[in-house]
């Protein structure tokens, strides 16, 4: 089978989308030919049956130039590279940009989408999409297209995100871009309410200019509290080690879909605490211990206190259960062949 993947970034070190390089490595293992087309390309190392095409964003290309480049690359895929299917990753507009080539050539198009939001571009893309792959029932909420939804679980590289026996000198870790919806301020308020020194790390930076004031306010809050390190952007290749060094990952994001950061920490055997309602189903009977109501700082502090009080044996036992959940339902090595099978003509 020959497939094309459209994505924003292909760079194994990218702080936000570095994980997708590993996805493409695994896709290459399950298809005859893979072409990855990315708006921006950085450090890559894909197998010989994979080809990478950049749309030139790293060289300053604008939207119109990238659209033209996309159509030219797709139109040039013939013979042994003519795709049997195309998979757009997370961005519905990719489906629309590719339509001038995919529609007349009758190339089946599918979308990976894991976000609670429903916007105009998602609705506009649906007539051109065969299947929408998503991590959970809550991760694709367009009511008019539910018949196209295929719930697959997430794709966590459980070989990379794995536990070890090293020390855990960090008490609390939060990973994700800095924005009000991610709840970092509430995490620090909860830490402050516990009234004792804690080692806290926040990995991530702003992606939007409008969030710069939020970052500066967060930095002032961290300085006043003490013991808090704002790490800025952390390479994807370094995230797993950060997770293995912490006693508790806290995710206060209010995005409403399964956040892969939480699953990655679980795969590392690290206890997690989240307010994301989509994790009720994921965590099952553990949900009352590992969840808190969004925005409820006292509840967050209480749960945090309980989990930080676990001894090494209790934390290891909980971590083993959490890793087992990821291995069973969200392992990348199981996800990719299922998606490939679903895309076969």
45-77 b/e with 16+ CB inside 10 Å = b?
A: ebeeebbbbbbbbeeebeeeebbebbeebbeeb
Domains and their CATH numbers in the chain: 2-155+331-343 (3.40.50.2000), 172-329 (3.40.50.2000)
pLDDT value of residue 80: 87
Q: Indicate if the pLDDT at residue 242 is higher than 90.
A: yes
pLDDT value for 137? 87
Please state, rounded to an integer, the average pLDDT across all residues of the chain: 96
Tens of pLDDT, residues 115-145: 888 999 999 999 999 999 999 888 999 999 9
**pLDDT given for residue 254 in this prediction:** 83
- What tens digit of pLDDT does each residue of 161-198 get? 999 999 999 999 999 999 999 999 999 999 999 999 99
Per-residue model confidence as pLDDT tens digits over 7-17: 999 999 999 99
Spatial distance between the Cα atoms of 90 and 264, rounded to a whole number of angstroms: 19
CB 270 within 8 A of CB 243: yes
Q: What is the pLDDT of residue 288?
A: 96
pLDDT at 257: 72
* pLDDT given at position 104: 97
The DSSP call for residue 165 is S
Rg of the chain over Cα atoms, rounded to whole angstroms, equals 21
Q: What confidence score (pLDDT) does residue 258 get?
A: 80
∠ at Cα 129 (127, 133), nearest 5°? 140
């Amino acid at each position: 089978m020959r497939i094309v993947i459209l994505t924003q970034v292909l760079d194994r070190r990218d702080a936000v989308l570095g994980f997708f390089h590993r996805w493409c490595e695994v896709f290459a293992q399950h298809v005859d030919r893979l072409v990855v087309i990315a708006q921006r390309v950085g450090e890559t190392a894909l197998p010989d049956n994979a080809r990478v095409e950049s749309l030139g964003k790293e060289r300053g290309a604008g939207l119109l130039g990238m659209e033209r480049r996309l159509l030219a690359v797709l139109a040039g895929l013939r013979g042994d590279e003519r795709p049997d299917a195309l998979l757009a990753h997370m961005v519905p507009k990719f489906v629309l940009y590719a339509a001038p080539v995919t529609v007349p050539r009758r190339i089946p198009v599918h979308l990976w989408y894991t976000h609670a939001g429903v916007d105009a571009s998602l609705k506009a893309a649906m007539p051109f999409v065969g299947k929408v792959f998503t991590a959970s029932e809550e991760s694709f909420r367009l009511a008019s297209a539910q018949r196209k939804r295929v719930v697959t679980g997430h794709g966590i590289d459980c070989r990379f995100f794995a536990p070890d026996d090293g020390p855990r000198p960090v008490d609390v870790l939060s990973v994700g871009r800095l924005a009000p919806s991610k709840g970092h301020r509430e995490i620090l308020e909860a830490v402050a309410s516990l009234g004792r020194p804690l080692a806290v790390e926040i990995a991530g930076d702003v992606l939007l200019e409008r969030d710069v004031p939020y970052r500066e306010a967060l930095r002032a809050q961290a300085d006043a509290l003490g013991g808090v390190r704002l790490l800025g952007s952390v390479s994807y290749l370094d995230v797993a080690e950060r997770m293995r060094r912490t006693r508790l990952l806290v995710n206060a994001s209010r995005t409403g879909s399964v956040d892969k950061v939480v699953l990655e920490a679980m795969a590392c055997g690290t206890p997690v605490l989240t307010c994301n309602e989509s994790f009720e189903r994921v965590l099952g009977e553990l949900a009352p211990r590992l969840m808190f109501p969004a925005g409820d700082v006292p509840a967050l502090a209480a749960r945090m206190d309980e989990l930080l009080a676990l001894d090494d044996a209790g934390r290891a036992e909980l971590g083993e259960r959490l890793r087992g959940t990821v291995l069973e339902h969200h392992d990348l090595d199981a996800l990719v062949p299922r998606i490939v099978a679903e895309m076969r003509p």
